[in-house]
Amino acid sequence: MSRIPTVTPRAGVLAVLVAAGLAVLLIKPDFRDSFFSGGGFALGALVAAIALGLVVTYRGSGVVNLANGAVAMYAAYVYADLRTRGDLFVPPLPNPLAPIEGIVHGIQGNRSFSLPHWPTSLDLGGPMSFWPALGLSLVFCVLFGLLLHLLVFRPLRTAPVLAKVVASVGVLLLLQAIVIRRFSTNPQVVRPIPFVSKKRVDLGLFTLTQEQLFVVVLVLVLTAGLWLLFQRTRFGLAVRAAAENEKGATVLGFSPDRLAAATWVLSTTVTGLLGIFVASVNSSLDPNVMPALIIPAVTAALVGSFSSFGWTTFAAFLLGMQVSFVAYLGVNESWFPQTGGLPLPGVDKLVPLVVIVAVLALRGKSLPTRGALSVGRLPFSPTPRAWSLRWAGPVLAIAAAFAGVFLLSPAYRDGLTNTLTGVIICLSIVVLTGFVGQISLAQMAFAGLSAFTVASLSSHHGWPFPLPILAGALVAVVAGVLVALPALRVRGVNLAIATLAFGVVVDNMVFANSAVNGGFDGATAKPPKLIDTNSQAVHKVLGIKIGDGTQPNPLTLVFCLLVVVVLCYVVANLRRSLTGRQMLATRANERAAAAAGVNVAATKVLAFGLSAFIAGIGGAVIAYRSGNVTPDKFTYDKSLVFFAFAYLGGITSVSGALVGGLLVSGGLGFTFLNDQIGLPNEFVLLLGGVGLILTAVANPEGVAGKVRSDVLAFRRRLQARRDSGVQPGAPPPDGHDEVVVPASALPSGASSVAMVQP
């Protein structure tokens, strides 16, 4: 596998087009000023740094770290807090003394008793000046890189791509959650860099401030430095050798593990450094902007084949600079698409998606693969058992309905309803990722498309109640199939990247579009009175009182429950059917599946369609359930969070989706924690992030899978004890009733090791 980019005619055409585009931008003065703006350069520099960090860790350990934008943000927060207050903030950790306090409070009857808490920050003696703050922040970056390597990605070295993606999403959520917990979402002021000013420097074609010029030069120097390091030193040679073959590095006298650690440190330091400087240039910092830059950054890295630092930086600058240019075009050009008298939002977000699709289409199958990268196996997907279909499912459903209607308080009813809608989204992920192994990070985009369709049809077109649900789900299916088409040639992390970019585009172009979200008036979905969540009606059926005259209406919950029950059985049936077997065959081995007569492409499109359909039903239910459809329910990061909880619950089974639903934000689990120990809502993300990392590292089968394998192991032990007492030579029991240890619970034996092809 050659790492040297081969020049093809298609690439040549593309290069000519890019060069021509740049020429036009340079020649037309107003275009030049808006494209090569100071802000554009600074943004480009940050995107480039995040992308360089991505490339370094990819080359060093084969991980595409989707949290790298969040790393820049986190480093900048550490620095900003040191500069303005001289504090080093501490991640919120569970207070080990809290349960004691809780018990004493319970006995006392009041809350006066108090034990020491974890500090929220370490006071380092007042605001710091630039250099010590920078030095300390960089020390933090180094330690953070080491931690990421040691605690998260080293244990995942041989894990499937899915687990690595999941872990990086976990890190992303965790970093964001910590910052939001400590600083809330308000922008923080960041002090300027002392040795450069906001004085403008004329460079002939364009003018930048000293600060902006400084970060641009710094990124260019770092790019050249990384190139030299990787191409011209023994260290770089060893990293390149290790990427092809871990033995190669060992022969050169380097430990592959230390090399990976070094690249993690290098990556977090480069990323953190630019995060700090660009935040200083912009004078402000918030927890959302930088993590989202992962999308242009990963696009740039893709352009550079996750290998070339030069191309990555070049593409990153273009992707950063187009943002202000697109904004300029939107305001000044009459041909720019308009919506409601305003320029169409989110076009700058569309650019990375277009580039991603173009790169993936041009390169097709020759996407980055690493010599040592093990394909790995996804968690075991069990066949639903007869007793769970016949007994456990109905009992659970009836219990939930009974509790929801007669027992639960309004807060818990709300929690249970959130759990139910969460289960639907998790089920959509089970079908696509659990059964077919395709990673989609855009499930809430499908759900949102459906929800806004429902709102429009039910409130503006007068469609009667159940019909809009189907229409919404069909819209979602169309979107799903559209996403599936590129997915036919793209696998693993590249698919995750493409779907993530798709989610961002839908979020910014469609949901943020006032023609869709109803602008000031909002978008509403009018459910029938019977299941309207705001209805306080009390019904009497056969002398039994239903409803207690408070909101939310318990029948809303019953409606959600009915949908969940139907979809759970649909997904369980799918797993037991030929289609399900074909999906699992595709997931296990696409080539072997094709050789067995499975139409792999059709299976994938089908899975995307069905998954989007289920997510669409989920979106429609969310719309009817809450009455008003707001874009914030369907933002791209919600897709990440749902993916996290689906994985946490167990991504390969219906029971996993049920557990995932219990865990989602606002769901029954958090309602309970909130009610019992007063756990604030911000912790949802925090626990989600930590849980996701732990699950990816230690327990890839999720909560449901873990419980299942533990129960099976226990039953097997009982069986063994019984057998040893009776007859040693007993024939093996019938295979279908035999307890089966999930394959992934077994040590990875020869079975998963592909033989070397001649």
What is the b/e burial string over 50-67, where b = at least 16 CB atoms within 10 angstroms of the residue's CB? bbbbbbbbbbbbbbbbbb
3-state secondary structure (DSSP) of residue 221:
helix
CB of 590 to another protein, least distance (A): 10
Binding residue (CB under 8 A) for another protein from 199, 365, 540, 736: 736
241 with 232: CB under 8 angstroms? no
CB of 713 to another protein, least distance (A): 14
CB of 533 to another protein, least distance (A): 29
- Write out the two tokens for 488: 């036919």
Whichever of 109 and 749 has its CB closer to another protein, that residue is: 749
Asked if 589 interacts with another protein (CB under 8 A), we say yes
CB of 370 to another protein, least distance (A): 19
* Contact stretch for another protein (CB under 8 A) within 56-64, 231-239, 412-420, 567-575: 567-575
3-state secondary structure (DSSP) of residue 164:
helix
Whichever of 224 and 592 has its CB closer to another protein, that residue is: 592
Binding residue (CB under 8 A) for another protein from 222, 429, 523, 574: 574
**Can you tell me the distance from the alpha carbon of 43 to that of 49, in angstroms, rounded to the nearest whole number?**
10
Residues 6+ apart with CB under 8 A from 131: none
* Contact stretch for another protein (CB under 8 A) within 9-17, 170-178, 537-545, 746-754: 746-754
Binding residue (CB under 8 A) for another protein from 7, 542, 698, 750: 750
Asked if 488 interacts with another protein (CB under 8 A), we say no
Asked if 581 interacts with another protein (CB under 8 A), we say yes
CB of 617 to another protein, least distance (A): 13
To 10 degrees, the CA torsion angle through 456, 461, 464, 465? 10
Whichever of 578 and 698 has its CB closer to another protein, that residue is: 578
3-state secondary structure (DSSP) of residue 97:
coil
Asked if 594 interacts with another protein (CB under 8 A), we say yes
Closest to 700 (Cα-Cα) out of 170, 288, 283, 215: 170
* Contact stretch for another protein (CB under 8 A) within 35-43, 107-115, 509-517, 575-583: 575-583
Closest to 317 (Cα-Cα) out of 68, 45, 24: 45
* Contact stretch for another protein (CB under 8 A) within 52-60, 66-74, 285-293, 748-756: 748-756
Residues 6+ apart with CB under 8 A from 122: 87, 88, 90
568 with 393: CB under 8 angstroms? yes
612 with 476: CB under 8 angstroms? yes
Asked if 431 interacts with another protein (CB under 8 A), we say no
Binding residue (CB under 8 A) for another protein from 9, 464, 728, 758: 758
- In 285-373, which residue ranges form alpha helices assigned H by DSSP? 289-292, 294-303, 309-332, 347-363
Whichever of 42 and 163 has its CB closer to another protein, that residue is: 163
CB of 430 to another protein, least distance (A): 14
Taking residue 589's Cβ as centre, other Cβ atoms within 10 Å add up to: 14
* Contact stretch for another protein (CB under 8 A) within 87-95, 361-369, 536-544, 749-757: 749-757
**Can you tell me the distance from the alpha carbon of 512 to that of 339, in angstroms, rounded to the nearest whole number?**
11
Binding residue (CB under 8 A) for another protein from 46, 278, 523, 585: 585
For residue 379, cis peptide bond before it (omega within 30 degrees of 0)? no
Residues 6+ apart with CB under 8 A from 746: none
- Write out the two tokens for 647: 């994985």
Task: Give the DSSP H or E segment for 67.
Answer: none
Binding residue (CB under 8 A) for another protein from 578, 698, 726, 730: 578
Helix axes 636-649, 702-725, angle to 10 degrees: 10
Asked if 9 interacts with another protein (CB under 8 A), we say no
- In 627-653, which residue ranges form alpha helices assigned H by DSSP? 636-649
CB of 592 to another protein, least distance (A): 4
436 with 651: CB under 8 angstroms? no
Closest to 231 (Cα-Cα) out of 309, 161, 296: 309
Closest to 53 (Cα-Cα) out of 175, 219, 179: 219
Asked if 459 interacts with another protein (CB under 8 A), we say no
CB of 651 to another protein, least distance (A): 13
To 10 degrees, the CA torsion angle through 40, 46, 51, 54? -160
**Can you tell me the distance from the alpha carbon of 444 to that of 451, in angstroms, rounded to the nearest whole number?**
10
Judged by CB under 8 A, the chain residues 606 through 635 that form the site for another protein are 606
Binding residue (CB under 8 A) for another protein from 116, 597, 725, 728: 597
**Can you tell me the distance from the alpha carbon of 465 to that of 473, in angstroms, rounded to the nearest whole number?**
14
* Contact stretch for another protein (CB under 8 A) within 227-235, 304-312, 414-422, 587-595: 587-595
CB of 737 to another protein, least distance (A): 8
Binding residue (CB under 8 A) for another protein from 315, 356, 600, 686: 600
Whichever of 183 and 569 has its CB closer to another protein, that residue is: 569
Whichever of 250 and 579 has its CB closer to another protein, that residue is: 579
CB of 381 to another protein, least distance (A): 5
| Site mask for another protein (CB under 8 A), range 343-382, x = bound | ----------------------------------xx-xx-
Binding residue (CB under 8 A) for another protein from 570, 673, 694, 707: 570
Binding residue (CB under 8 A) for another protein from 199, 365, 591, 721: 591
- Write out the two tokens for 545: 């009182």
Q: What are phi and psi of 473, to 5 degrees?
A: -65, -35
Asked if 587 interacts with another protein (CB under 8 A), we say yes
Total residues binding another protein (CB under 8 A): 48
Applying CB under 8 A, which residues contact another protein?
377-378, 380-381, 570, 573-582, 584-585, 587-589, 591-600, 606, 732, 734-736, 738, 740-741, 743, 746, 749-752, 754-755, 757-758
